[in-house]
Amino acid sequence: MKNLVALVSLFFLTFSMNAQEPIDGIWNMGKANTQIEIAEASDGIYEGKIIASDNTDAKIGATLLKDIKLVDGEWRGKLFAAKKRKWMDTVLKAEENQLLVTVNAGIMSKTLKWTKG
């Protein structure tokens, strides 16, 4: 009986460690009070659009994140880099009230911290 309890406990511990926090919601990028809404676009694939910004150059409704999906326990997709005018690979990780957005450019990467809001 002890073995069964230990096995069931191990199963739930492993499951909870692999569970991902949801990424949907409204996130503040921090720059110019720009807010992104991440929502499911279709069948487990998410996208993020600009819904508000103090930046006069920001295009409300523009897609900033696309093709976001859960791959091997990580949220992966593409982030539009306005300065480079191209889509870049990204990994997103939600932690409490923060969304860590890691942008990969070859061997270099940068992690942005967005807040829930």
pLDDT in the model for residue 96: 86
Task: Write down the pLDDT at residue 9.
Answer: 42
Q: Residue 85 falls within a domain, yes or no?
A: yes
Q: Cα-flanking dihedrals φ and ψ of residue 66, to 5°? A: -145, 160
Residue 66 confidence class, pLDDT cut points 50, 70, 90: very high
Residue 9 domain-assigned (yes or no):
no
User: H or E stretch including 34?
Assistant: none
CATH number of 103's domain: 2.40.128.20
- Which pLDDT band, with edges at 50, 70 and 90, does 12 fall under? very low
Q: Is 95 inside a domain boundary?
A: yes
Q: Is residue 105 part of a domain?
A: yes
**pTM here?**
0.79
Does residue 48 lie within any of the structural domains? Answer: yes
Tokens matching residue 17: 């460690």
Q: Taking 60 as the threshold, does the pLDDT of residue 17 lie above it?
A: no
DSSP string, 35-86: EEEEEEEETTEEEEEEEE-S-TT--TT-EEEEEEEEETTEEEEEEEETTTTE
Q: Is residue 3 part of a domain?
A: no
Residue 16, in any domain of the structure: no
Only one residue has tokens 């992690």, namely 111
1 domain-assigned: no
pLDDT of residue 116: 94
Say what percent of the chain tops pLDDT 70: 83
**End-to-end distance of the chain based on CA atoms, in angstroms?**
47
Look up the domain containing 25 and give its range: 21-116
Number of domains in the chain: 1
Quote the mean pLDDT of the chain.
85
